[in-house]
Structure formats: C-alpha cells, structure tokens
Amino acid sequence: MLKTDTRQANWRRANSDKYEAHLAVQRAVKAGGLDKESCEVCSVEAVDAHHDQYDEPLRVRWLCRRHHTRLHHYGEDMFPVRISTKTQGGVAD
C-alpha cells in the first residue's frame, strides 16, 4: 500500500479499482497485448484509454486528451460507443 500523503497517492487509495484498471492497460500496451488506436472522435494519434466500466479493464475507448476531458465533463453519452469488429488483447468488441 502507498505510504505517501500526496494528492495522487490519496486518489489511488480512494479509487483502487480505477487505478488497477489503469495499470492493467499500461501493462497490456507495454507487453503488446493491447494496441493503442487513434482517437475514436477525431483520429488524433496521442490518446488516453477511457474505461466505460472498470470491471473490464482491457475494454477501453481511445480518446485524445481533449475528447477524454470533454467526455468526463459533459457526460458518458457525449460520444456513443462505436461498434468495432477488431480484436484487442484477445477480447473481441
């Protein structure tokens, strides 16, 4: 468990499910089991992984920082989930 009292460490302690999902994506991308895609809204290459559900840590939506921030600010249905036939990390969308 984290011993520091920084804002980041406090967030990680309070949101362990979100933090674990974030780490799972980082590990999968690094190991080659999950490929980053371009932003699903604007096709920018620099993206963040967005989880619609944290209990499915490798099921993510790739959004640029601008659209990821807007999604959290304005609501989950701002950018409807696109149906994809691609396979990522062994899980078909």
**Tokens for 15?**
């949101």
Give residue 90's pLDDT: 45
- DSSP-based helix, strand, coil % in the chain, nearest 5: 35, 15, 50
Model confidence at 4, in pLDDT bands (50, 70, 90)?
confident
Q: Identity (one letter) of the amino acid at 80?
A: P
Q: What is the pLDDT of residues 63-85, one digit of tens each?
A: 999 999 998 888 766 666 664 44
* Secondary structure of 11-28 as H, E, C letters: HHHHCHHHHHHHHHHHHH
Compute the distance between CA of residue 50 and CA of residue 62 in angstroms, rounded to an integer.
6
